[in-house]
């Protein structure tokens, strides 16, 4: 394990993945600097959308874990962060991305791919880790239907992974100083969305029926082809049922 007195900057450090990474780094004694727009206690104020405070936030850090994301396009946030890092000592940067973004034609995924290119073409030492969808993302697909008499599920499979497993892998990459695009990681099980919906219903004590659906177009076809999955041995250890039990 590589240690240093210089801090690690975590963007998105108050999110589900970021907070787990921050907790683990802090627990083992790493100096951690969490970037937040609010400047809340135990964070440093900085806005990746405007660039305000970002130069100061990256100053003196040994590495950046770029975990911040939005529901829109992350490209400009990444551009501002990379520019500040290139001018501020050129720390190493690790970026959390998503499996299949180069094969699934979603606009949001296009922004993630553009962010990957910005990082790869920068003057920084970089690592990119792509993971499958988080358990909480998959759960949200069903939770938004909590008042529906029938739970709809897309007719393709997921390989959901726990944020704890992703946090573990990111810290392994930080310690090992692995550079470039790391091998993709996925959860312990590949399961149909309908099967996951049924597991979610069981956890809630519900007997509502589930119904698979298909949509026309290349995006649905890409998911149906398995572009969002990681073949081979899985990295993750926490199953969807494990996640649901812990989330109660």
What are the pLDDT digits (tens) for 182-230?
A: 999 999 999 999 999 999 999 999 999 999 999 999 999 999 999 999 9
The answer to whether 44 touches 73, Cβ cutoff 8 Å, is: no
Give a yes or no: residue 2 inside a domain: no
Find the mean pLDDT for residues 4-9.
88
Tens-place pLDDT, residues 66-121: 999 887 788 999 999 999 999 988 999 999 999 999 999 999 999 999 999 999 99
CA distance 68 to 70: 7
CA distance 116 to 96: 9
Task: Kindly state the percentage of the chain with pLDDT values over 70.
Answer: 98
CA distance 32 to 194: 40
pLDDT tier at 247, thresholds 50, 70, 90: confident
Q: What pLDDT score does 39 carry? A: 80
Tens-place pLDDT, residues 37-54: 888 888 999 999 999 999
Tens-place pLDDT, residues 151-166: 999 999 999 999 999 9
Q: What pLDDT score does 4 carry? A: 63
Find the mean pLDDT for residues 11-38.
95
Q: What pLDDT score does 56 carry? A: 94
Residue in 160, 158, 156, 159 with CA at minimum distance from that of residue 212: 156
Find the mean pLDDT for residues 169-186.
95
Find the mean pLDDT for residues 171-183.
94
Q: What pLDDT score does 37 carry? A: 86
- CATH, residue 33: 3.40.50.720
Look at residue 5 and tell me whether its pLDDT is greater than 90.
no
pTM given for the model: 0.94
Give a yes or no: residue 195 inside a domain: yes
Domain that holds residue 235: 8-247
pLDDT tier at 2, thresholds 50, 70, 90: very low
Give a yes or no: residue 1 inside a domain: no
**Greater pLDDT, 4 or 45:** 45
Q: What pLDDT score does 41 carry? A: 85
Per the structure, the count of domains in the chain is 1
Give a yes or no: residue 68 inside a domain: yes
Residue in 20, 41, 42, 24 with CA at minimum distance from that of residue 33: 42
Give a yes or no: residue 100 inside a domain: yes
Give a yes or no: residue 3 inside a domain: no
Which segments within 70-122 are labelled E, that is strand? Answer: 92-98
The answer to whether 210 touches 193, Cβ cutoff 8 Å, is: no
Give a yes or no: residue 54 inside a domain: yes
Give a yes or no: residue 151 inside a domain: yes
Mean residue pLDDT of the chain comes to 95
């Amino acid at each position: 394990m590589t240690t240093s007195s210089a801090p690690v900057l975590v963007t998105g450090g108050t999110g589900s993945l970021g907070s787990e990474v921050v907790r683990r780094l802090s627990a083992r004694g790493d100096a951690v600097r969490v970037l937040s727009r609010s400047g809340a206690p135990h964070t440093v104020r900085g806005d990746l959308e405007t660039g305000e405070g970002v130069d100061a936030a990256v100053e003196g850090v040994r590495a950046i874990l770029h975990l911040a994301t939005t529901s829109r396009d992350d490209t400009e946030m990444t551009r501002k962060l990379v520019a500040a890092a290139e001018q501020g000592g050129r720390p190493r940067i690790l970026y959390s991305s998503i499996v299949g973004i180069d094969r699934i034609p979603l606009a949001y995924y296009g922004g993630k791919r553009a962010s990957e290119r910005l990082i790869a073409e920068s003057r920084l030492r970089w690592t990119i880790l792509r993971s499958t969808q988080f358990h909480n993302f998959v759960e949200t697909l069903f939770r938004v239907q909590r008042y529906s008499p029938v739970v709809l599920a897309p007719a393709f499979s997921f390989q959901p992974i726990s944020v704890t497993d992703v946090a573990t892998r990111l810290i392994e990459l930080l310690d090992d100083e692995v550079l470039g695009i790391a091998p993709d990681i996925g959860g312990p099980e590949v399961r149909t969305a309908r099967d996951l919906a049924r597991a979610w219903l069981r956890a809630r004590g519900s007997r509502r029926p589930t119904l698979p659906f298909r949509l026309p177009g290349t995006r649905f076809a890409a998911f149906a082809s398995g572009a969002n999955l990681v073949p081979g041995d899985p990295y993750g250890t926490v199953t969807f049922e494990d996640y649901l039990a812990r989330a109660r």
